[in-house]
Amino acid sequence: MSTIEIICLILGIACVVQFLLLIFINFRFSKTLKGLKEREVDDVVTKNGMRYTIDQTVVDEDGNMNISLSQKDIVLNPNDTQIVGIKNKVKPGKYVLLSTKGEEESFNVRIGDYVKEYHHNQSVVLGEGQEITAINTSIILR
């Protein structure tokens, strides 16, 4: 065999190995991609890099928590204190507290000086000048 034939043989074997590797990777990750597509929410709108859903139901037909971020929702991160005010992020008024994790039905929130356990889909009224802080997990104010 000449040098050119050996190089062609090596390149051919390398192409076959790459092709088999791509088939393996495609087969391996196609299950993962199917799982991600099944978890996607319908009617998603992307605005300024944030994904929002039009569906604002808090609990679905089966009684499971439906966690979806709508455009007027406010996300409170743990230990991030927000002061309620007209010019601030959190305005005075009535809010529904929602969990950001599907397995957590209750969470701790400090409103004013007191920490209390709240549950998913529980209402709270916030007045001007009050402070609100999510204690142990992120929460959504709707």
Give me the tens of pLDDT residue by residue for the chain, a chain 142 residues long.
788 889 999 999 999 999 999 888 877 776 666 554 544 555 666 666 655 555 556 555 565 655 666 667 888 999 989 999 888 888 888 888 888 876 778 899 999 989 999 988 888 889 899 999 999 888 988 8
Beta-bridge partner residues of 29: none
What value does the CA radius of gyration of the chain take, rounded to a whole number of Å? 25
Give residue 62's pLDDT.
61
User: 65 in a domain, yes or no?
Assistant: no
Handedness of CA 72, 105, 137, 42 (dihedral sign): negative
| Residue 47 within any structural domain of the chain | no
Q: Which domain holds residue 81?
A: 71-141
- Tell whether 60 is covered by a domain: no
Q: Is 91 within a domain?
A: yes
Strand-strand pairing, 50-53 and 122-126: unpaired
Structural domain includes residue 113: yes
Dump the DSSP string for 37-96: HHHPPSSEEEETTEEEES---SB-TTS-B-----TT-EEE-BT--EE--TTSSSPSEEEE
CATH value at residue 108: 2.60.120
Q: Please indicate, yes or no, if residue 102 is contained in any of the structural domains.
A: yes
